[in-house]
Structure 1
Amino acid sequence: MTTVAVLADPPREGLVLSELVAETPLSETETVKLYTAMLRDVCRAVEASGGDLLVNYRGDDDLPAHDGESSEAQVRAAVAPALESPDEARYEVQVGSSFSARAGNTVSHLLDQEQVTSAAVVEPTAAFLTRGIVDNAAMKLRRHEVVLGPAGDGRVYYAGFADGIDFGDAYESPAVETLTDRGVAADHSVDFLPMTPVVESRGDLVTAITQTAARAEAGRNHPGHTAQCLAELGVDVIAGADGPELVRE
């Protein structure tokens, strides 16, 4: 069984999805809503799988000063409505000065201290993650020490490990190549999952809007919280002279 850690920031304005605020019609308040919806879909997919959900949140000492609820309280409040058994969810604070360090510390602790069979790190922006993907990854981790889920622009939405690697700057762009290099350098077998979008940039948002609309229309599996949030935000994709454009409905 794989322990799947979702590395989450508290949903705060100015902290999450800042690239979308700069590049799209979405405001900071709206990006917080979208981030929360994606985090819910991701955590629900993990809970529904055969893996163990671990929500790893950024500690307040590692974040800009904030008046209001603690990071843990905000993350718990964001995740709980999506879970069938919210009281059984496990929450732990992240440790490390960078994403690579936080991911590495989490995986190393799970493998070395808790002696789990395999451990994985998942991006909270991987709204299209499904139970099937998580379970497929767990099966692959029985045969390979490293399993990666590629996203656009060389990113990864999933990184699973049955044995450790050198995590120093392991998520340096392009993360899928860097993590593969580290796995090969450790004499590990590396395998891959189907490419799945993350939603962090303007292009990602175009993909998310069109994919959720198409999947919903076709009656296929789609991220429910994210799809509902996108519909409520009222942002649509139209054909423009220079490619897809984001517009308010």
Structure 2
Amino acid sequence: MTTVAVLCDPPRDDLVLPELPATSPLTASEATTLYTAMLKDVCAAVEASGGDLLVNYRPEDALPDHESGAADGGNAKEEIKTAIAGALSEPESVRFERQVGQTFSGRAGNTATHLLEREEADSAAIVTPYTPFLSRQQIDTAAMKLRRSPVVLGPAPGGRVYYAGFTSTIDYADSYETPAVETLTDRAIDAGHEVDFLDMNPFLATGSDLVDIVALLRARRTAGRIIPEHTTTAIETVGLSTDGTNLQRSDDR
């Protein structure tokens, strides 16, 4: 069984998807709603898979001061717990752990190392809410690949990764430096590990990413294929469509 850690932040305006309001028609509040929806879809996919879901969150004291809700009595864990509860079949059984580290690479590395070395997990994987098309089948396929290869990566456009699975550790310092798929591969090879890959998957962080996501969601829905339920609802509520280059809201027509 692979322990799949979903590294996430409390869904707050300007903290999550911070580039989206400046690069798309979405407001900061709508970007937060979209992030929450993607978080639900990713957690639901992990829960439905053969993996073990771990929600790995940034606590209040690890958030930038201007983005922390501590002064207003904010509680990162409870906000995330509330956000995903309705998307899971057994929310009470979900495990929550604090992230530790100053950078994403450091936090991901600390989580993977802790799971593999301290908890002696057979395999550990790092994912984020930015990949709403992550599916149960992909998670299970990755678990099978991890039986043969110590490192399995899921590439995303722009040299990013939507999945990083390990049965052995690597040097995680700055391991997600752009292009992350190449950097992580280099670190794995340097450690003497064989690397395998999953199919390419969309990744959502900017307005240009959202163009691709909206087009794919609409196409898959038209074709009657599986779509990420909560992400689709969030996008349809805003009324987004695309001509392949630009995004348009239904209230702009």
Equivalent residue for 1:135, pick from 133, 140, 147: 140
Task: Please state how far the C-alpha of 1:81 moved relative to its aligned partner.
Answer: 1.0
Equivalent residue for 1:102, pick from 100, 104, 107: 107
Query: What does residue 245 of structure 1 align with?
Result: 246
Query: What does residue 36 of structure 1 align with?
Result: 36
Task: Please state how far the C-alpha of 1:72 moved relative to its aligned partner.
Answer: 0.5
1:65-121 deviation digits (Å, cap 9, x = unpaired): 322431111111111111000001111110000000000000000000100100000
Query: What does residue 227 of structure 1 align with?
Result: 232
Query: What does residue 55 of structure 1 align with?
Result: 55
* CA–CA distance in structure 2, aligned partners of residues 62 and 220 of structure 1: 39
Partner AA of 2:35 in structure 1: Y
TM-score w.r.t. the length of structure 2 is 0.95
1:187-206 deviation digits (Å, cap 9, x = unpaired): 00000000001111111101
Task: Please state how far the C-alpha of 1:139 moved relative to its aligned partner.
Answer: 0.2
Does structure 1 retain, via aligned residues, the 8 Å contact 2:23–2:208? Answer: no
* CA–CA distance in structure 2, aligned partners of residues 144 and 217 of structure 1: 37
Pick which of 166-175 and 67-76 moved more. 67-76
Identity %: 55
- 1:123 and 2:124 equivalent? no
Task: Please state how far the C-alpha of 1:37 moved relative to its aligned partner.
Answer: 0.3
1:8-54 deviation digits (Å, cap 9, x = unpaired): 01100010111111111100000000000000000000000000000
Task: Please state how far the C-alpha of 1:238 moved relative to its aligned partner.
Answer: 2.4
* CA–CA distance in structure 1, aligned partners of residues 58 and 7 of structure 2: 8
Query: What does residue 176 of structure 1 align with?
Result: 181
Per the alignment, in what secondary structure is the counterpart of residue 108 of structure 1?
Answer: helix
Equivalent residue for 1:150, pick from 150, 155, 160: 155
* CA–CA distance in structure 2, aligned partners of residues 81 and 96 of structure 1: 29
Against the structure 1 CA distance between its residues 205 and 169, is the aligned structure 2 distance closer, same or farther, given a 3 Å change threshold? same
1:137-162 deviation digits (Å, cap 9, x = unpaired): 00000000000000010000000000
Query: What does residue 45 of structure 2 align with?
Result: 45
TM-score w.r.t. the length of structure 1 is 0.97
- 1:85 and 2:86 equivalent? no
Query: What does residue 119 of structure 2 align with?
Result: 114
* CA–CA distance in structure 1, aligned partners of residues 243 and 157 of structure 2: 21
Pick which of 67-76 and 122-131 moved more. 67-76
* CA–CA distance in structure 1, aligned partners of residues 246 and 122 of structure 2: 45
* CA–CA distance in structure 2, aligned partners of residues 107 and 29 of structure 1: 32
Partner AA of 1:58 in structure 2: R
Query: What does residue 187 of structure 1 align with?
Result: 192
Partner AA of 2:25 in structure 1: P
Query: What does residue 13 of structure 1 align with?
Result: 13
* CA–CA distance in structure 1, aligned partners of residues 124 and 202 of structure 2: 21
* CA–CA distance in structure 1, aligned partners of residues 222 and 241 of structure 2: 15
How many residues align structurally? Answer: 245
Partner AA of 2:204 in structure 1: V
- Structure 1 regions of 5+ residues with no counterpart? none
Does structure 1 retain, via aligned residues, the 8 Å contact 2:60–2:74? Answer: no
Superposed CA RMSD: 0.8
| Alignment map for 1:198-213 (pairs within 5 Å) | 198-213=203-218
Structure 1 runs of 4+ aligned residues shifted over 4 Å read: none
